[in-house]
Structure 1
Amino acid sequence: MEKTKWIDIKGNHDSFNIPQLDSAQNYYRKYSAWRKDGSFHYIHTTSFGNYSFICVDATLTPGPKRPFNFFGILNMNQMKELSVMATESLHSNHTVWFGHFPTSVIVSPAPGIRTLMNSATAYLCGHLHTLGGLMPVLHSQHRGGTLELELGDWMDNRRYRILAFDHDLFSFVDLNFEEWPVVLITNPKSFLYSSSAHEPLVKILHSTHIRILAFSPSAIISVRVYIDGVHLGNAHQVSGPLYVLRWSPQNYSEGFHHIDVTVQDAAGRISTRGHKFAMEENLSLSFGFLQSVILLTDHYVLARVLFGLIVLIQVALLVIFRYLQKPALKEKPGLLTLTSYSLHVFSKTNVFYYSILVLNLYTVLGPWFVGELIDGHMGACFSFGVFVGGSFLQGSLTFAVGILQMLFFNLPLMAYLCWCLLLRCQGHSFRSHIRHVRRLTAVLVHLAMTLLLAWQVYSCYFLQRTYGTLAFFLSPMRTWLVVLASALIYKTWTLKSSALRTYRVEMKNSQSF
Structure 2
Amino acid sequence: MYFSKAAISLVCVLLILSVFMANLLNIIAIDNFYAESSNIGENYTKYLGKKYGQMTDSTKNLLWFLQISDIHISIFRDPARIAHFQQFTDITVKSIKPLIVLATGDLTDAKAKDNLGSSQVKKEWVYYHNIIKESGVTEYTTWLDIRGNHDNFNIRTINSQENYFRNFSIQGTTHSKSYAHIVEHNGVNVAFLGMDACPDPGLRRPFNFIGILDVQEQQNLEKLKNEADQKADHLVWFGHYPTSCILSLERDSQRMSVRELIGSAGGSQVYVCGHLHSMGGLVKQMYTKHKKGYLELELGDWKDNRMFRLAAIDHGLFSFIDQKHNSWPIILVTNPKHARYVLPGREPLQLIPESTHIRILVFSDVKIESVKISFDKISWMLCKKKDGPLYVCRWLPHLFATGLHKLYVEAIDEMGKNNTLEHPFSLDGTVMPFGITSRLMLMLDAGAVFQAVFGTLLIINVLPLVILRLQKRPPKYMRRYGQKILRSLWLLSKIDRIFYPIVLYAIYLPLGPWVIGELIDGYIGTIFAWGILIKGTYLPEPFTYTYGSVQLLFVQLPLILVLAHCLDTRLFAQNLRGYKRLIKNMPFIFLLSIQLLLAYFFWLEYGTISFLFGPLRTWSVVLSTLLWYKTLTLPPDYCRYLIKLNDLPS
How would you bin the TM-score normalised by the shorter chain? over 0.9
Greater RCO (CA < 8 Å, at least 6 residues apart) = 2
Select the residue among 421, 434, 448 that pairs with 2:580.
434
Q: Hey, what does 1:197 align to over in structure 2?
A: 345
Distance in 1, matches of 2:476 and 2:571, equals 12
SS at match of 1:7: strand
Q: Hey, what does 1:405 align to over in structure 2?
A: 551
Q: CA-to-partner distance for each residue in 1:211-263, whole Å, 9 max, x for gaps?
A: 11111222211111112335351111110111111111111111111011111
Distance in 1, matches of 2:349 and 2:475, equals 73
Q: Does 1:213 align with 2:361?
A: yes
How do residues 448-487 of structure 1 correspond to structure 2 at under 5 angstroms?
448-487=587-626
Q: Hey, what does 2:153 align to over in structure 1?
A: 16
Q: Hey, what does 1:113 align to over in structure 2?
A: 258
How do residues 265-414 of structure 1 correspond to structure 2 at under 5 angstroms?
265-281=413-429, 283-327=430-474, 334-414=480-560
Distance in 1, matches of 2:646 and 2:540, equals 50
Which 10-residue stretch deviates more, 342-351 or 457-466?
A: 342-351
Select the residue among 226, 229, 235 that pairs with 1:95.
235
Q: Does 1:261 align with 2:401?
A: no
- The alpha carbon displacement at 1:296 in A equals 1.7
- Residues 202 and 208, structure 2, Cα contact 8 Å, conserved in 1: yes
- Residues 141 and 148, structure 1, Cα contact 8 Å, conserved in 2: yes
Distance in 2, matches of 1:272 and 1:126, equals 27
- The alpha carbon displacement at 1:16 in A equals 0.5
- The alpha carbon displacement at 1:450 in A equals 2.3
SS at match of 1:404: helix
SS at match of 1:121: strand
Q: Hey, what does 1:439 align to over in structure 2?
A: none
Q: Hey, what does 2:385 align to over in structure 1?
A: 237
Q: 1:509 to 1:22 in 2, by over 3 A?
A: closer
- The alpha carbon displacement at 1:336 in A equals 4.3
Q: Hey, what does 2:141 align to over in structure 1?
A: 4
Distance in 2, matches of 1:17 and 1:114, equals 28
Q: CA-to-partner distance for each residue in 1:35-71, whole Å, 9 max, x for gaps?
A: 1222122212236342121111111211111111122
Structure 1: runs of 5 or more not aligned = 436-441
- The alpha carbon displacement at 1:423 in A equals 3.0
Q: Hey, what does 2:179 align to over in structure 1?
A: 40
Distance in 2, matches of 1:80 and 1:430, equals 69
Distance in 2, matches of 1:484 and 1:57, equals 42
Distance in 1, matches of 2:587 and 2:233, equals 60
- The alpha carbon displacement at 1:188 in A equals 0.7
Q: Hey, what does 2:302 align to over in structure 1?
A: 154
Q: 1:391 to 1:323 in 2, by over 3 A?
A: same
SS at match of 2:590: helix
Letter in structure 1 aligned against 2:510: V
Letter in structure 2 aligned against 1:359: Y
- The alpha carbon displacement at 1:329 in A equals 9.0
Letter in structure 2 aligned against 1:365: L
- Residues 473 and 646, structure 2, Cα contact 8 Å, conserved in 1: no
Distance in 1, matches of 2:318 and 2:465, equals 57
- The alpha carbon displacement at 1:191 in A equals 0.7
- Residues 208 and 541, structure 2, Cα contact 8 Å, conserved in 1: no
Distance in 2, matches of 1:455 and 1:389, equals 32
SS at match of 1:52: strand
Q: 1:233 to 1:345 in 2, by over 3 A?
A: same
- The alpha carbon displacement at 1:430 in A equals 6.0
Distance in 1, matches of 2:475 and 2:309, equals 68
Q: CA-to-partner distance for each residue in 1:455-507, whole Å, 9 max, x for gaps?
A: 21012212222211111111112111111111111111111011222222355
Q: 1:384 to 1:329 in 2, by over 3 A?
A: closer
Q: Hey, what does 2:313 align to over in structure 1?
A: 165
Q: Hey, what does 2:630 align to over in structure 1?
A: 491
Q: 1:19 to 1:427 in 2, by over 3 A?
A: same
SS at match of 1:161: strand
- The alpha carbon displacement at 1:313 in A equals 3.0
Q: 1:327 to 1:220 in 2, by over 3 A?
A: closer
Q: 1:178 to 1:13 in 2, by over 3 A?
A: same
Distance in 2, matches of 1:430 and 1:471, equals 40
Q: Hey, what does 2:72 align to over in structure 1?
A: none
Which 10-residue stretch deviates more, 27-36 or 391-400?
A: 391-400
Q: 1:462 to 1:328 in 2, by over 3 A?
A: closer
- Residues 337 and 425, structure 2, Cα contact 8 Å, conserved in 1: yes
- Residues 329 and 507, structure 1, Cα contact 8 Å, conserved in 2: no
Letter in structure 2 aligned against 1:93: D
SS at match of 2:184: strand
SS at match of 1:468: helix
SS at match of 2:281: coil
Letter in structure 1 aligned against 2:557: L
Which 10-residue stretch deviates more, 419-428 or 64-73?
A: 419-428
Q: 1:361 to 1:211 in 2, by over 3 A?
A: same
- Residues 599 and 611, structure 2, Cα contact 8 Å, conserved in 1: yes
Q: CA-to-partner distance for each residue in 1:151-180, whole Å, 9 max, x for gaps?
A: 112233221111111110111111122211
Letter in structure 1 aligned against 2:335: N
Which 10-residue stretch deviates more, 356-365 or 150-159?
A: 150-159
Select the residue among 48, 61, 80 that pairs with 2:219.
80
Distance in 2, matches of 1:455 and 1:357, equals 21
Q: CA-to-partner distance for each residue in 1:352-407, whole Å, 9 max, x for gaps?
A: 11111221022111211111111111111111111223222113211111111101
SS at match of 2:308: strand
- The alpha carbon displacement at 1:90 in A equals 3.0
Q: CA-to-partner distance for each residue in 1:120-144, whole Å, 9 max, x for gaps?
A: 2111001122322323322122122
Select the residue among 31, 45, 65 that pairs with 2:204.
65
Letter in structure 2 aligned against 1:361: I
Distance in 2, matches of 1:184 and 1:247, equals 17
- Residues 368 and 411, structure 2, Cα contact 8 Å, conserved in 1: yes
Distance in 1, matches of 2:278 and 2:160, equals 31
Select the residue among 114, 138, 145 that pairs with 2:286.
138
TM-score by length of 1: 0.92
Q: Hey, what does 1:416 align to over in structure 2?
A: 562
| Identity level (%) | 38
